[in-house]
Structure formats: structure tokens, C-alpha cells
Amino acid sequence: MANGRNNKLKVGVLASGRGSNLQAIIDASEKGGLAAEVICVVSDITDAYALERARIHGIDAVHVNPKDFANKQEYEKQICRHLKEHGVELVCLAGYMRIVGPHLIREFPNRILNIHPALLPSFPGLHGQRQALVHGVKFSGCTVHFVDEGVDTGPIIIQSVVPVLDDDDEETLSARILTEEHKIYPQAIQFIAEGRLELRGRKVLLEKAETESHYPAIQNPGVEI
């Protein structure tokens, strides 16, 4: 159970839906040697399955209803209070269907990550998989990036590539991409936990590991990690 009594990086997750990426992070933390743990989960949707997943693992899970607040800033202030009360050091958006506003970004500078189901900067916004199919690309994939004030525009940490097959539909392509999402999101969090990422302008540089990592690094084409 996440209890904050160890020195793992404390992660807060914002999610609006089924929470399979949340689950991948929890699993990597509980069984996979991830140097981070999910401390709390916040959802803007009252019955998001992500909340249920968190509770099953004994993780604090709350619904914060945007409609209860006068504006986005007040809503985000409440989320921020909650995250800070729990000592959250890194915020991970995992299927969070809202654009993060300046308040949260200011409170967690370069400490908010997002996962997107396309190879950014291609196909940002909603339905990245559908956009890829409509465009007719031969490869797509997923991207973990830092969150800035744009929509899926922040510096890219890690990407994974999958082929787009002639007979793919949105469902089959999404499933192939999702398998990769579940690998690269925990990997990106591990890089942050190990303090190995250096932000140089738009570029995210990965420093060599100082000691041998206990986390089984994923194989990403062309990237020696």
C-alpha cells in the first residue's frame, strides 16, 4: 500500500476514465521495482474506473467536481491543495480529459507528465489514433511529455513506435499503442525518479544511470538506456 514512508518519488495521478495507464504505474511500483509510488488519484469524473483501481490498491482516491468551483483556477487550486497535502512530487496525467491551466503548471513546474496516443507533434488533441488512421501514416505510437500550457506541446521524454497495418481500425491500433503506453509511462517516471532527465530548451536529455538501475529498462529503438 502506498504510505509515503519510504523514499520513493511520490506521484499523484489525474485521470478521467478507465485508468489502464494508472494501473500500469501502480503495477510497476508494486511489482516492477519502480522507484516511485502513486500516493493519490484525483478524477474530475465521479465514477471514473481509475478511482476504483486506486481504492483496490489502498491509494487515496477523490473526485473533484469542476462544477463545484467558480472557475478553472479555483478548481485547480483545490486539486493542488490535495496533491500538496499528500506530498506529491510528480503529477501524471493518465487519460485526464482537461487542459491543465496555468495554476497547476506554476505549482508543479516541469513536474507534470502526460501520455498521448500518437507520435507527437503529429496528431495532438483528441483521438490521436483516429487521426493517424485518417492521415494514412505507416507508423504511429505514443509519447510521454512534460506538460506546458499548450495541448500536447511540451518537451518529449520518450516515444514508442508501432506499425499501422492496412486492416487496422481505431480499436486495433489503439490496443497496439496502449500496450506500448503501459511500458513507456512507468519508464519515464523511473527516469524522473532517478534524476536522469535534463531539460535543455525543448530537448529532454537522458543522462547515463549512475548506478545500475533495478528497473528493467524497455528497449526503445535507437535509444541506448
Residues marked active site are found at 116
- Shortest Å distance, C-beta 225 to ligand GRF: 21
- Shortest Å distance, C-beta 51 to ligand GRF: 11
Determine the angle formed by the axes of helices 20-31 and 170-193, rounding to 10 degrees: 40
Contact between residue 74 and residue 62 where contact means Cβ atoms under 8 Å apart? no
Which stretch in 3-11, 18-26, 29-37, 105-113 sits in contact with ligand GRF by CB under 6 A? 18-26
With CB under 6 A as the contact rule, the residue among 117, 141, 154, 186 that binds ligand GRF is 117
Q: Which of residues 125-154 bind ligand GRF (CB under 6 A)?
A: 142
- Per-position b or e across 22-40, b if 16+ CB within 10 A of its CB: bbbbbebbeeeebbbbbbb
Length of the chain equals: 225
In the bound state with ligand GRF, the residue whose beta carbon lies nearer, of 91 and 94, is: 94
- Shortest Å distance, C-beta 38 to ligand GRF: 13
Binding mask 166-185 for ligand GRF (x = CB under 6 A): ------------x--x----
Q: Which residues pair with 115 in a beta bridge?
A: 144
With CB under 6 A as the contact rule, the residue among 21, 140, 160, 187 that binds ligand GRF is 21
With CB under 6 A as the contact rule, the residue among 39, 92, 94, 162 that binds ligand GRF is 94
Which residue's beta carbon is nearest to the bound ligand GRF? 95
CA 7, chain centre distance (Å): 21
Residue 104 to residues 70, 95, 153, Cα–Cα distance (Å): 16, 17, 16
- Shortest Å distance, C-beta 195 to ligand GRF: 25
In the bound state with ligand GRF, the residue whose beta carbon lies nearer, of 10 and 176, is: 176
- Shortest Å distance, C-beta 152 to ligand GRF: 9
> Would you count residue 116 as binding ligand GRF (CB under 6 A)?
yes
With CB under 6 A as the contact rule, the residue among 14, 54, 95, 146 that binds ligand GRF is 95
Between strands 203-206 and 197-200, the pairing is antiparallel
Contact between residue 63 and residue 45 where contact means Cβ atoms under 8 Å apart? yes
Residues 6+ apart with CB under 8 A from 205: 197, 198, 199
Measure the CA–CA gap between 60 and 38, rounded to whole angstroms: 9
With CB under 6 A as the contact rule, the residue among 2, 13, 19, 133 that binds ligand GRF is 19
> Residue 53's closest CA among 65, 43, 67?
43
* Chain positions contacting ligand GRF, by CB under 6 A: 15, 17-21, 94-95, 115-117, 142, 178, 181
